[in-house]
Amino acid sequence: MARVITITSGKGGVGKTTTAINLGAALNSFGKDVLIVDANLTTPNIGLHLGAPMVPISLNHVLSGKAKVSDAIYEHSSGTKILPSSLSIKELKNLNHSKLKEVSKKLKKLSDFIILDSAAGLGDEAVAALESADDIIIVTNPEIPAVTDALKTSKLVEQLGKTVKGIVVNRSSGSKSEMPISNILDMLELPLLGIIPEDKNVPKSVLMKDALIYTHPRSRASKAYRKLAAKLIGKENYKEA
């Protein structure tokens, strides 16, 4: 049964897009059929990260009723499919965010895993991505502001009558100044799905316009993303070769 997995946060810049792309690519490397959707319509990034910045038909056209969803799906060279949003401000007009749920349902007929890269914050755009989800993953960083905002998102999810599958702590460097994982878990009271280390190869992969797990497969963050993907598909005992 296909799943829609929404990658959300509270605070911006914590690593949602990086996680959506690399979790998606890792699931794809395990043979799953994956579609990554840029549900961050106001500040879209997926196309930029994966080398498809300008596309003729995007999620914007689908949400404004101008195109069919199947016409807005592109295949990345890795085999992962993407549904990008438009970079044009003009195309933010007449968007019906609530239509995302209906679109997500249709996407479940096309792929096993639909990964929605959400906007930050608690606005309509972020809420639409939460309402479309079967599984919600909150990304945070090991620092008080990010965890505080993650808590807000988690409360919002509760108000929507949904549950959070768990959290991913990204950019963990193990430094003394960062918030210990045990404190983060005490504060959020949510399951820990994965810890992604701070990794200087992440920005390099963005420049190379491909997922880190393909540009730097042996890097520490790549290993952590594969472990996260393995956990989500029930391969709890997955070990790197």
6 to 45: interface string for ligand ADP, x by CB under 6 A: ---x--xxxxxxx--------------------------x
19 to 58: interface string for Mg ion, x by CB under 5 A: --------------------------x-------------
Contact call for residue 194 and ligand ADP (CB under 6 A): no
Identify the residue among 128, 138, 202, 229 touching ligand ADP (CB under 6 A): 202
Residue 80's binding partner out of Mg ion, ligand ADP, none, with CB under 5 to 8 Å set by partner kind: none
Q: Of 164-183, which residues contact ligand ADP (CB under 6 A)?
A: 170-171
Contact call for residue 145 and ligand ADP (CB under 6 A): no
Among 114, 66, 68, 123, CA closest to 90: 66
User: Nearest distance from residue 156's CB to ligand ADP, in Å?
Assistant: 17
What distance in Å separates the CA atoms of residue 86 and residue 107, rounded to the nearest whole number? 19
Residue 206's binding partner out of Mg ion, ligand ADP, none, with CB under 5 to 8 Å set by partner kind: ligand ADP
Residue 39's binding partner out of Mg ion, ligand ADP, none, with CB under 5 to 8 Å set by partner kind: none
Residues at the site binding ligand ADP, with contacts judged by CB under 6 A: 9, 12-18, 45, 170-171, 196, 198-199, 202-203, 206, 221
* Footprint on this chain of Mg ion (rule: CB under 5 A): 16-17, 45
